[in-house]
Each structure stands twice: as C-alpha cells, then as structure tokens.
Amino acid sequence: MSETPILEVRGLTKRFGARAAVRDVSLELWPGEVLGIVGESGSGKTTLLNCLGGRMPADAGEVLYHTGDGREVDMLALSEADRRRLLRTEWGFVHQNPRDGLRPDVSAGGNVGERLMALGQRHYGNLRDTALDWLKQVEIDADRVDDKPRAFSGGMQQRLQIARNLVTHPRVVLMDEPTGGLDVSVQARLLDLLRRLVRDVGVSVIIVTHDLGVARLLADRLIVMREGGLVESGLTDRLLDDPREPYTQLLVSSVLTV
C-alpha cells in the first residue's frame, strides 16, 4: 500500500429536512483495499455512497480524491463537467438492482462497450473483442454477447454490470449491495468473482452491505454505521471477532448461523 489514501472523506453530512441521514462521517480508502460499510437498513449506508460519488449533493464535508494524474480534488466542490468526467473514467458504480446500471435494450456487448465509446474508442472490432474478453472474465458465455440483458438471469445481469464498470479499469468502484436479491449459491459465485477481479484489476472498492458474511469474505476493513453516524471501524476480522461497541456486538451476534 502506498503512503496516501486514494480517497479521504471528512465530516460528510447529508440531511433530508431536519433528519440527518449521514452525520459527520470521516473515513479513508487506501489504494487496492476493499472497505466494507455495514449496518442495519436505514443507517445511511446508501446515502453515504451516493454522496461520495457526487450522485447526491452533500450538505457539509469534503471528499478528497487523488486522481490518476496525481492531483487532489474535492469531489463535492468539483465542477459538474470535471466530476462527470471522473465518474465516467476513474470511478465505477455497481447498483444493487442491475436494471439501474444496465441498458436493458442494448446488447451485452454494447453495455460493456459503452464506457469505452464514451472515451472515444471508435473501432467496432476492438470494442467487440474487449466485450468478449470481459464477458469471459465475468463467466458469461461468449455466445450471449449479442443478447439483451433483459434475457439474462439476475446473477448474470449483476456480473454484466460489474464487467461494464471494470472495462475502463477504474481506480475506485462503489458497490451498493451487489449481492442483494441473489440466491445463496449465486451469491457465492459472485463473491468469488469479485474477489478475483478486485485483486486482478487492483481497484479500490467501497462496498455497502447489510450482510456480514459478504463483508467478511470481501472486505479488508469494515465500518459500522448506525443512524447516520460511524459506530466503529477496524480490520474485518478484528471487528467481527472482537467487536468493541455494544451496537457492533449486537449486530454480530444477531447473525444466524446454520
């Protein structure tokens, strides 16, 4: 790991009316690490993620990002043009519902190629080869490249969405419950795949999940949120095996074991 974090969040606050959905959150994301954000429903995890990517304006705080060309920018203060360009090139966002992150009427190949075309690639043959290569990496058969995502199963759609995001080799990927709504065996395969891709591509990931099992498998570090604020943070194994805060203890002990 290098000396400086790739992303520093300081004092991020987001209010909906009088209610603070995210309250004074500070965190750091280091290059190549997977940071898990866990907490019960309504604890502000998804709102935090949306604010980080500039998808939702925050009320206070800063999100300092170290760009690929060595600058430090505040994602919240950046002009819209620059922010959208960064989000398109150096960031990725994996939605909980793949329908939000895919174009259902565009073939799988077109979905994977879209970000490349947005970056100016204009060679159909190369775009298609890249798409085929990425479909293979996310374990989708090459003969499905011309099919529309609406004909895919939920797990395949989610894998396609991941390929669509990773194709430009982003530096930061935000994932919102990527395994939500999938059955357990499909979840397991997706987790294996994610682990491999994260290591291969070397991307830094913030993953939001309410599933501590997913967090244990994927995340290097964990942050526990409750009612918009940070409760506890630490290395995944430390935090799950030896929780310090009463709320974390409650969260960990409420997981059912089979």
| Three-state secondary structure readout of 39-74 | CCCCCCHHHHHHHHCCCCCCCEEEEEEECCCCCEEE
- Cβ at position 98, least distance to other proteins in Å: 17
132 scored as a contact of other proteins (CB under 8 A): no
Select 115 or 159, whichever has its Cβ closest to other proteins: 115
CA–CA gap between residue 81 and residue 40 (Å, rounded):
35
- Kindly state the tokens that stand for 228: 């918009």
Task: Name residues contacting other proteins, limited to 47-86 (CB under 8 A).
Answer: 80-81, 84-85
- Cβ at position 169, least distance to other proteins in Å: 16
- Kindly state the tokens that stand for 51: 């604010």
CA–CA gap between residue 30 and residue 84 (Å, rounded):
22
- Kindly state the tokens that stand for 101: 């992150």
- Report the 10 Å Cβ neighbour count for 72: 10
Do the bridges between strand 19-29 and strand 72-74 make them parallel or antiparallel, or are there none, so unpaired? unpaired
- Cβ at position 106, least distance to other proteins in Å: 6
- Report the 10 Å Cβ neighbour count for 243: 20
143 scored as a contact of other proteins (CB under 8 A): no
Residue 63 contacts residue 52 (beta carbons within 8 Å): yes
- Cβ at position 138, least distance to other proteins in Å: 19
Residue 39 contacts residue 210 (beta carbons within 8 Å): yes
- Cβ at position 71, least distance to other proteins in Å: 19
Sort residue 181 into left (φ over 0), alpha (ψ -120 to 50) or beta. Answer: left
CA–CA gap between residue 112 and residue 130 (Å, rounded):
8
140 scored as a contact of other proteins (CB under 8 A): no
Task: Name residues contacting other proteins, limited to 2-41 (CB under 8 A).
Answer: none
Task: Name residues contacting other proteins, limited to 159-178 (CB under 8 A).
Answer: none
- Kindly state the tokens that stand for 234: 């630490």
Q: Which stretch binds other proteins (CB under 8 A): 16-24, 36-44, 47-55, 122-130?
A: 122-130
- Cβ at position 136, least distance to other proteins in Å: 18
Select 61 or 110, whichever has its Cβ closest to other proteins: 110
113 scored as a contact of other proteins (CB under 8 A): yes
235 scored as a contact of other proteins (CB under 8 A): no
Task: Name residues contacting other proteins, limited to 90-109 (CB under 8 A).
Answer: 103, 106-107, 109
Select 10 or 85, whichever has its Cβ closest to other proteins: 85
Footprint of other proteins (CB under 8 A): 80-81, 84-85, 88, 103, 106-107, 109-110, 113-115, 117-120, 122-125, 127, 146
